Amino acid sequence: MEEPSKPRGNWLERLSAFLLREPEDREELVELLHGAFERHLLDAEALGMIEGVLSVGELTVRDVMVPRSQMDVIRVDEVDRFLPFVIDTAHSRFPVIGNDKDDVLGILLAKDLLRYFHQPKTFDLKAHLRPALFVPESKPLNMLLRDFRATRNHMALVVDEYGGIAGLVTIEDVIEQIVGDIEDEHDLEEADDAIVPVRGNRFRVKATTEIADFNAHFGTAFSDAEVDTVGGLLLSKLCHLPKRGEMLELDELRITVMRADSRRVHLLLVERVRAEPENNAQ
C-alpha cells in the first residue's frame, strides 16, 4: 500500500505508467493519449501539443506555406519607398527580389534597417541581405524544422518542381503546428478589433465577440436570445468544449478553433464555405 506521505509523480511519470502497454499504431497511441486526458493525466494544452508533434511528421511544407501571391516582398530598387510597407506589415524578415518573385536575392532582417536610419544616403541594401534558404514543397515539416535549427534560419523560400517560387515558410509556421497559433504584439489578442482579416478570405475572431457584431460583419442572422458571444454560440452547437483544430460549419461559414483551454474557447478562424456551382442540364 502506498504511503500517504509519498508524493504523486509528475504528469510525465503518470502518463508513462498509463502507456506501459505499447500501442500497435498511431491511431491506438492517440486513443491512449485521449484516455490519459480523460483520466486527468494530461491537461488539454499538453494533449494538443503532443498531437501537434505527431502531426508535424505527416505534414509537408506545402500544407503550411504562405502562397506566392500572398508573399510580402521588397524590391531591391525601391529602397526609398519600402519603409512604410515594412512598418505596416510588421514582419521581422522580408525576401528581397529583383525582376520578379522568382528572382530572390536574399533575406532582409527588419532590424538591419536601423543602419538605414543612421546613414540613409550610404545604405547599401544588397550588402545587408542574408542568404536565402530554398526548400521543395514536398519537404516534411519535421525535416524542415531540423534544417531551421541546423542553419539558424527562420525563413525559407518554397520552390515548385520547375524551380519557381511557390511561397515561403517560417519557423513560426512549423512551431504553430505544435503549440498552436503564436500571438505577438501585432496579433489579435493585443488588438482592439474583435474580427481581423488574415491571409485569404479568412478572419481571426475573438470568441468573446458579440453575436450582433459577428452578424453585422459576416451577414449572418444567428440568434443572441440564449447566448451573447460567438464562443457561446459554438458551445451551444457542439454541446461540448472543443479543442484546438476542431471545426464546425454554420450558415455557409467554416469555424475552426484556433485557441482553447480546458475551460473556454479563446480564438476562432472563420472562412466562407464556397458552394459548388450547379451544372445545368442542357
pLDDT score recorded for residue 19: 54
Q: CB count, 10 Å around CB of 59? A: 15
Is-contact 160 166, C-beta < 8 A? yes
Render pLDDT for 127-166 as a digit per residue (tens, 0 to 9).
889 999 999 999 998 899 899 988 888 999 999 988 899 9
- Distances in Å between the alpha carbon of 52 and those of 95, 154, 175? 28, 20, 9
pLDDT score recorded for residue 192: 54
Average pLDDT of the chain is 78
Question: Nearest-CA neighbor of 168 among 62, 82, 52, 78?
Answer: 62
Give the helix ranges, DSSP H, for the chain: 11-18, 26-38, 44-56, 61-64, 83-89, 114-118, 141-151, 171-179, 211-218, 230-238
Q: Kindly state the cell numbers that stand for 273.
A: 464555405
Parallel, antiparallel, or unpaired for β 202-206 and 66-67? unpaired
Location of C-alpha cell 474580427: 195
Q: CB count, 10 Å around CB of 38? A: 10
Is-contact 244 259, C-beta < 8 A? yes
Q: Which of 6-10, 81-85, 202-206, 250-254 has the lowest mean pLDDT?
A: 6-10
The pLDDT confidence band at residue 85, using thresholds 50, 70 and 90, is confident
Location of C-alpha cell 522568382: 102
Q: Kindly state the cell numbers that stand for 237.
A: 452547437
Q: Kindly state the cell numbers that stand for 199.
A: 491571409
pLDDT score recorded for residue 269: 86
The pLDDT confidence band at residue 215, using thresholds 50, 70 and 90, is very high
- Distances in Å between the alpha carbon of 147 and those of 52, 81, 88, 137, 155? 19, 34, 30, 14, 11
Q: Kindly state the cell numbers that stand for 153.
A: 534560419
Counting residues of the chain whose pLDDT is more than 90, the rounded percentage is 16
Looking at the predicted structure, is the pLDDT value of residue 279 above 60? no
pTM: 0.54
Measure the CA–CA gap between 184 and 90, rounded to whole angstroms. 10
Question: Nearest-CA neighbor of 91 among 107, 79, 102, 75?
Answer: 107
Taking residues 84-102, report their average pLDDT: 85
Q: Identify the burial level of 235 via C-beta atoms within 10 angstroms of its C-beta, where 0-12 means exposed, 13-18 middle and 19 or more buried.
A: middle
pLDDT score recorded for residue 23: 63
